[in-house]
Amino acid sequence: MKRKLFVNLAGSLLILALLAPAARAQSQSAARYPAGSGYPAPTLTLFQNEQQAQKHCPQDTVVWLNLSSAIYHFKGQRWYANTNNGAFVCEQEAELAGDRATLNGQ
Q: What is the pLDDT of residue 17?
A: 43
CB atoms within 10 A of CB 71: 21
Shared-domain flag, residues 18 and 55: no
Ramachandran bin of 98, using left for φ above 0, alpha for ψ from -120 to 50, beta for the remaining angles: left
Shared-domain flag, residues 55 and 85: yes
Shared-domain flag, residues 63 and 22: no
DSSP 32: G
Mean pLDDT by 10 residues, the chain (106 residues): 49 42 38 55 88 96 96 96 95 95 91
Q: Is residue 39 part of a domain?
A: no
Phi (first) and psi of residue 100, to 5 degrees: -135, 160
> For residues 41-68, b (16+ Cβ closer than 10 Å) or e, as one string?
eeebeebeeeeebeeebeebebbbbbbe
Q: What is the pLDDT of residue 2?
A: 54
Q: Is residue 43 part of a domain?
A: no
